Structure 1
Amino acid sequence: MIIFCEECGARNDLNSDKLSENLHAFNCCQCGESLVISKPLMDSGELSVFAETTPQRSENQSQAPITVLIVDDSTVLRKIIKEMFSADARLKVVGEAEHGLKALELISELKPDVVTLDVNMPVMDGLTTIKHIMIKCPTPVVMFSTLTGQGSKETFEALRYGAIDFLQKPSSLLKEDLKSQHELIISRVKNAARAGIDAVRYLRPAQTASQNKSTPNTQCQWVFAIGSSYGWYGSLLGLIPELKPDLPAAFISALYSTPSHVDAFTRYLDDHSPIVVSRAIDGQVIQPGTCYLASVFEAVSVVNTDDGLVLRVQSEPSKPPARITDELMTSLSTAMKERASGILLSGIGEDGIKGLGRIINGGGNAIVQDPKTCLCSDTTALAAEKYGLSPVLPGPRMAETIYAHCQEAIQ
């Protein structure tokens, strides 16, 4: 059986006898996403099945089509995209627009569930259009362009302005075949609709410090390990720029992406955050007022040494991604005990849930993003239920919760 990952589009060759009788789940060989295959799809005999994790929906919701507005200045591309969506019974194209200004008129009139939006367009470009959508009529937006690949500035800008997801337009020049590209696009548009309006928000630029940032002249008293898989770009863009640089705390996150994409995201996030954002490097002494980012292909942990708290980062480019957040949180709990904290943001699967439990059992603090505001609520909903946690709204509210915890601990 050939399975295509909804997160990165990677092909996974899988023997169905490797799947358990009840779970039908596995991790993507490239990005580590936990993918679930429904029993009906497995029994259908189809050669190529696109695996997606689907949140529970009511019977009425599951029968109602997902309405889509296509916004692109190319007549040919709009036709291709419309035909692609029309081939799926769950999607219904209700309108088309050739530029952002027309899109704003149609969104108010048609109220689509999802908008697919190009970046470069006449009259009003895509990034300007997103700002207007988020202010006037918040709607799940999927950026859909040759520019919006992982690691591009346009991608990060679109997500900061409120886009839920980003995709590249179908093309014969991409490494995946067109059928695989279509399946990826359709699944991600459905996910955007499931996320709903609670996950839509315009992230206003934070007041950044000067380019010569400095860290607090104090010891690092707390470390927060942040876990997020599917939807992590938007979740971190909403949180990190809201953190205060004078906080005697550090933040570490291992991201489900390649090292080169994490490099690009680190530079962008550092440019838009008051605190220092840097790549995690092996042997680095952890400093307060700093956020360290690693890739899923880099096993990252925290250890106590004579020099203080130190990062351990081991590159594993040929090894399938492991449960990186569980490993990071477990090491943090061992190193810091009650001064360790775990944060779970939008994600698929269970990575981070066991690690969060170890932090809690060690006397540390745990924070989970409100599932209603996640692009995918699997991880946060499971963690909140398992440990009896009260979910926290993302962005400024989560930053306030972090600050309040640190202040309470000081007193």
Structure 2
Amino acid sequence: MNKIKVLVVDDSAFMRKVISDIINSYPDMEVIEKARDGNDALQKIETFSPDVVTMDVEMPKLDGLSALKNIMDTNPVPVIMLSSLTQNGAEQTVKALQFGAVDFIPKPSGSISLDIEKVKDDIISKIRIAAGAKRKLQNLNINHDLNSIVKIKPPTKKIDYKKQLKKLIVMGTSTGGPKALHEVLPKIPVNIDAAILIVQHMPPGFTKSLADRLDILSQIKVKEAEHGEKVIPGCAYITPGNYHLNVESIYNQIKKDLIINLNQNNPIKGHRPSVDEMLLSVTKHFWSDIICVIMTGMGSDGSKNLHLIKQKGGKVIAEHQSTCIVYGMPKAAIQTGNVDSIVPLEDITKEIISMI
């Protein structure tokens, strides 16, 4: 059996040792080398050709984000970022995911986490997933240049809170999802006649940074969803980590309103938020057209309730295998027979607009 070769990058000698010991305790993987900063990592990637790199976000000299951009531009290899749970750590992690990191792991207690063993299972499972994405990552045309991303938006994002909600787009994604959302949402026009609800599998503390980042880059308003708020056309709402997103409809004499209802009911198949939970709720309570988009991610979340979208007369788009970092969720969706269109990531926004 060929072992997964891992390069561990961290400026703390303690963290390098602890993470290496965790990895080396599993028979299907091994740490082939360690690096103390980004410059050291770049040299050792060239020399040792690892299958996966685990890399601290915050390091001296060449930090994790700068090193990641260099790696993706010159020698693409799956990178898993290790991040502190600070606001700055979350913001840097979201940028890293945009620039091509496969996934990230929050350090339980800061940059030097004596309790890193708490996320041991997360480290191992994400290394295995990342290793499977190596060939895919090298074949993808990943855009790392912020200046080339669509940024054309009006001076202020004027939201018409009185506008009737008639169309709804629901998106579900997991591993590789932040990068996919950075490709899709900035292309959506400001005058889109629909609201967007998004489930991205992500732990608490990171979804707000993701929403804030996407809001800067997008023409539409992007925000972290809040309990009790009204769903407005021209807005995208990202479900907070560790919450399910449900909706309820409220009727008045003039129009119907859709209200977001966040809850911490039991995880569904290990997920909170759950795409399936969101789909179940919107098909129960939304009164008009629904478009569902399933993008890159491990597992099958979202596939169980796609038939409810079809029963409501809605349409379903799945990301094509060729652009998925992990072809799990789209594959499961396609296998249900409920998908109307299968398109590569760069064409998903165009497909949404054509369906609307």
TM-score category (smaller protein): 0.7 to 0.9
Alpha-carbon spacing, 1:308–1:267, altered in 2? closer, same or farther (3 Å): farther
Bigger drift between 327-336 and 95-104 goes to 327-336
Deviations 1:120-159 (A, max 9, x none): 3333221111111112222111112446789711111111
Q: CA deviation at 1:336?
A: 5.8
Residues 148 and 155 of structure 1 are in contact (CA less than 8 Å); yes or no, is this contact kept in structure 2? no
- So what's the TM-score if we normalise by structure 2? 0.80
Match of 2:296 in 1: 346
Q: CA deviation at 1:175?
A: 9.5
Q: Choose from 59, 66, 77 the match for 1:121.
A: 59
Match of 1:51 in 2: none
Q: CA deviation at 1:188?
A: 1.7
Matched, 1:314 2:265: no
Local SS of the residue matching 1:152: helix
Q: Choose from 82, 86, 91 the match for 1:153.
A: 91
Alpha-carbon spacing, 1:125–1:210, altered in 2? closer, same or farther (3 Å): farther
Match of 2:342 in 1: 391
Q: CA deviation at 1:73?
A: 2.9
Local SS of the residue matching 2:98: helix
Match of 2:101 in 1: 163
Alpha-carbon spacing, 1:267–1:151, altered in 2? closer, same or farther (3 Å): farther
Match of 2:158 in 1: 214
Residues 253 and 294 of structure 1 are in contact (CA less than 8 Å); yes or no, is this contact kept in structure 2? yes
Match of 1:247 in 2: 192
Alpha-carbon spacing, 1:207–1:120, altered in 2? closer, same or farther (3 Å): same
Letter in structure 2 aligned against 1:242: K
Residues 337 and 359 of structure 1 are in contact (CA less than 8 Å); yes or no, is this contact kept in structure 2? no
Alpha-carbon spacing, 1:231–1:320, altered in 2? closer, same or farther (3 Å): farther
Alpha-carbon spacing, 1:344–1:302, altered in 2? closer, same or farther (3 Å): farther
Q: CA deviation at 1:88?
A: 1.8
Residues 101 and 124 of structure 1 are in contact (CA less than 8 Å); yes or no, is this contact kept in structure 2? yes
Letter in structure 2 aligned against 1:377: Y
Q: 2 CA distance for matches of 1:405 and 1:191?
A: 33
Deviations 1:252-291 (A, max 9, x none): 1244456654344333322232210134346644332210
Match of 1:378 in 2: 328
Bigger drift between 142-151 and 202-211 goes to 142-151
Bigger drift between 123-132 and 229-238 goes to 229-238
For 1:62-73, list aligned pairs within 5 A. 63-73=1-11
Alpha-carbon spacing, 1:134–1:190, altered in 2? closer, same or farther (3 Å): same
Deviations 1:210-264 (A, max 9, x none): 5621258975553111123455434333322232222222211244456654344
Residues 85 and 93 of structure 1 are in contact (CA less than 8 Å); yes or no, is this contact kept in structure 2? yes
Q: 2 CA distance for matches of 1:127 and 1:297?
A: 28
Match of 2:350 in 1: 400
Q: Choose from 132, 147, 172 the match for 1:194.
A: 132
Residues 223 and 250 of structure 1 are in contact (CA less than 8 Å); yes or no, is this contact kept in structure 2? yes
Matched, 1:108 2:46: yes
Q: CA deviation at 1:360?
A: 2.0
Local SS of the residue matching 1:212: coil
Letter in structure 2 aligned against 1:129: A
Local SS of the residue matching 2:316: strand
Q: 2 CA distance for matches of 1:151 and 1:310?
A: 37
Match of 1:88 in 2: 26
Local SS of the residue matching 1:143: strand
- So what's the TM-score if we normalise by structure 1? 0.71
Local SS of the residue matching 1:342: strand
Letter in structure 2 aligned against 1:247: I
Q: CA deviation at 1:324?
A: 4.2
Q: 2 CA distance for matches of 1:392 and 1:156?
A: 25
Match of 1:12 in 2: none
Q: CA deviation at 1:192?
A: 1.4
Deviations 1:68-118 (A, max 9, x none): 122223344333333332222211323333332332233234332111122
Residues 72 and 117 of structure 1 are in contact (CA less than 8 Å); yes or no, is this contact kept in structure 2? yes
- The number of residue pairs the alignment matches comes to 342
Q: 2 CA distance for matches of 1:78 and 1:176?
A: 12
Structure 2 regions of 5+ residues with no counterpart?
A: none
Q: 2 CA distance for matches of 1:269 and 1:165?
A: 17
Q: Choose from 283, 308, 318 the match for 1:358.
A: 308
Q: 2 CA distance for matches of 1:72 and 1:176?
A: 14
Letter in structure 1 aligned against 2:275: T
Residues 284 and 310 of structure 1 are in contact (CA less than 8 Å); yes or no, is this contact kept in structure 2? no
Alpha-carbon spacing, 1:301–1:388, altered in 2? closer, same or farther (3 Å): closer
Letter in structure 2 aligned against 1:209: K
Deviations 1:184-222 (A, max 9, x none): 322221221123343563454431525621258975553
Residues 301 and 331 of structure 1 are in contact (CA less than 8 Å); yes or no, is this contact kept in structure 2? yes
Letter in structure 1 aligned against 2:306: L
Q: CA deviation at 1:355?
A: 2.6
Match of 2:211 in 1: 266
Q: 1 CA distance for matches of 2:259 and 2:190?
A: 24
Structure 1 regions of 5+ residues with no counterpart?
A: 1-62, 407-411
Q: 2 CA distance for matches of 1:403 and 1:289?
A: 13
